[in-house]
């Protein structure tokens, strides 16, 4: 029997491409050029399955693209599926899968990196040093904020939120409070306090870190009103999705001193980053690298392949979203 045909929309880690090629008839994308919408529609018409990632906007038009569609599975290389129209996929009977868990540590590590970077003003100090603006050791300039005894507010205490909370609490002595839409008991940190509203959490925290999915219900979850509730000494960290934060409101809050600083790995209109943010010394900016370690990306790719293998074996994929 002919092997199923898989089209990979992005360049993949070598080990992942190797395994994919051993199992399927594969069209790879070595140049990593983003597929246009017509190219995605064509790919769905010619492949049995699509292996895609954040950046590929698999919208309703692509999923409903007439009788020509052949692909029965969209295997996402990543945990977030906000770039895929899940309802349209469900309507069309297209299976969507993702790659949870294996990126928890890498993403939590990066969120902790942003917290440390922001509160210790690492980026500002390094930039000044590289510009030749360091006159020597002194006792008072550019002081940061200590984390021990401060409160981390986690919005979305799921797998990544919990991994971050563990690092912050056990590694850095922070108190942990969190807000969840549904109640999740975090047995790993018995002292962690569940706060009833986002408003209360914003007001009580020294660092707010976002770990909610980027679906429509979370669009601009952090808006001007909620930012205004934060302490002027507090920091906002986002490793979730850019549009969870109203970026213009954040710029305004940072410029006016409503909050002390931010650490951002994701943006509303990636890869566009507002010039206003780039100009600020109290903001650390990273190019969406939460899961970007070689080990993690290989594990994510293998998980995406496991989903494809199960689907073509007639089984329910281990990480099926719909
Ligand atoms: C994820 O897995 O959701 C990462 O943000 C990359 O898409």
DSSP designation for 287? -
- Residue of 121, 167, 169, 288 marked catalytic: 288
pLDDT at 182: 80
Res. 161: pLDDT tops 90: yes
Give per-residue pLDDT as tens, 59-102.
999 999 866 678 999 999 999 999 999 999 999 999 999 999 99
pLDDT at 188: 83
pLDDT at 1: 78
- Sheet strands side by side (includes 49-52): 25-27, 5-8, 49-52, 73-76, 95-97
Distance in Å, CA 257 to ligand 1 centroid: 31
0.75 exceeded by the pTM? yes
**Beta strand pairing status for 283-285 and 151-155?**
unpaired
Centre a 10 Å sphere on the Cβ of residue 150 and count the other Cβ atoms it contains: 20
| CATH class, 104-285 region | alpha beta
pLDDT at 148: 98
Q: What is the mean pLDDT of residues 252-264?
A: 98
Res. 256: pLDDT tops 80: yes
Q: What is the mean pLDDT of residues 19-42?
A: 97
Which residue lies with its CA nearest to atom 4 of ligand 1? 78
Ligand 1 pocket, residue 290 CB under 6 Å: yes
Q: Is 217 an annotated catalytic residue?
A: no
Ligand 1 pocket, residue 263 CB under 6 Å: no
Q: What is the mean pLDDT of residues 155-174?
A: 96
Q: Is 211 an annotated catalytic residue?
A: no
Res. 186: pLDDT tops 70: no
Residue 83 CB burial class (10 angstroms; 0-12, 13-18, ≥19): middle
Res. 160: pLDDT tops 70: yes
Which residue lies with its CA nearest to atom 6 of ligand 1? 78
Nearest ligand 1 atom to the CA of 81 is 3
Average per-residue pLDDT for the chain: 96
- Taking each continuous run of H as one helix and of E as one strand, the counts in the chain are 13, 12
Q: Is 120 an annotated catalytic residue?
A: no
Asked whether 209 and 239 are in contact (CB, 8 A), the reply is yes
Give per-residue pLDDT as tens, 207-227.
999 999 998 999 999 999 999
Q: CATH 3.40.50.720 spans which residues of the chain?
A: 5-102+294-312, 104-285
pLDDT at 66: 66
Res. 184: pLDDT tops 80: no
Ligand 1 pocket, residue 103 CB under 6 Å: yes
pLDDT at 68: 64
Res. 3: pLDDT tops 70: yes
Distance in Å, CA 79 to ligand 1 centroid: 5
Distance in Å, CA 188 to ligand 1 centroid: 24
pLDDT at 176: 97
Ligand 1 pocket, residue 4 CB under 6 Å: no
With bands split at pLDDT 50, 70 and 90, how would you rate the model's confidence at 185? low
pLDDT at 212: 97
- Taking CA atoms, 143 is separated from 84, 125, 129, 133, in Å, by 43, 10, 15, 16
Q: Which CATH number is correct for 5-102+294-312, 3.40.50.720, 3.30.930.10, 2.102.10.10, 3.40.50.1000?
A: 3.40.50.720
Ligand 1 pocket, residue 54 CB under 6 Å: yes
Distance in Å, CA 141 to ligand 1 centroid: 37
Long-range contact set of residues 94-98: C-beta below 8 Å, sequence gap at least 24: 94/63, 94/69, 95/311, 95/317, 95/320, 95/322, 96/320, 96/321, 96/322, 97/73, 97/304, 97/307, 97/308, 97/311, 97/317, 97/319, 97/320, 97/321, 98/319, 98/321
pLDDT at 259: 98
Q: What is the mean pLDDT of residues 134-143?
A: 96
Give per-residue pLDDT as tens, 229-241.
999 999 999 999 9
The percentage of residues in the chain with a pLDDT greater than 90, rounded to a whole number, is 94
Ligand 1 pocket test, pick from 13, 76, 78 with the greatest ligand atom count within 8 Å of Cβ, gives 78
């Amino acid at each position: 029997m002919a092997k199923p045909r898989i089209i990979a929309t992005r360049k993949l880690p070598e080990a992942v491409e190797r395994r994919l090629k051993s199992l399927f008839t594969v069209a790879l994308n070595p140049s990593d050029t983003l597929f246009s919408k017509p190219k995605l529609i064509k790919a769905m018409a010619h492949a049995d399955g699509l292996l895609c990632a954040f950046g590929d906007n698999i919208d309703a038009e692509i999923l409903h693209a007439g009788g020509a569609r052949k692909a029965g599975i969209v295997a996402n290389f990543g945990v977030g599926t906000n770039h895929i129209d899940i309802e349209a996929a469900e309507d069309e009977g297209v299976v969507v899968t993702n790659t949870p868990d294996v990126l928890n540590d890498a993403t939590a590590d990066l969120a902790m990196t942003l917290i440390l970077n922001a509160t210790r003003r690492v980026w500002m100090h390094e930039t000044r040093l590289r510009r030749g603006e360091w006159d020597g050791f002194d006792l008072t300039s550019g002081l940061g904020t200590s984390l021990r005894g401060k409160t981390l507010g986690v919005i979305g205490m799921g797998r990544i939120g919990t991994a971050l909370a563990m690092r912050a609490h056990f590694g850095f002595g922070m108190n942990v409070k969190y807000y969840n839409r549904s109640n999740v008991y975090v047995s790993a940190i018995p002292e962690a306090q569940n706060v009833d509203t986002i408003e209360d959490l914003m007001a009580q925290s020294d660092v707010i870190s976002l770990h909610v999915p980027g679906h429509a219900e979370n669009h601009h979850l952090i808006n001007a009103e909620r930012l205004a509730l934060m302490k002027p000494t507090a920091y906002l960290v986002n490793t979730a999705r850019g549009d969870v934060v109203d970026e213009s409101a954040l710029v305004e809050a940072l410029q006016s001193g409503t909050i002390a600083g931010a650490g951002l790995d994701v943006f509303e209109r990636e890869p566009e980053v507002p010039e206003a943010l780039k100009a600020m010394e109290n903001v650390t900016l990273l190019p969406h690298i939460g899961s970007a370690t070689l080990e993690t990306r290989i594990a994510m790719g293998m998980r995406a392949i496991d989903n494809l293998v199960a689907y073509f074996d007639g089984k329910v994929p281990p990480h099926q979203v719909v």
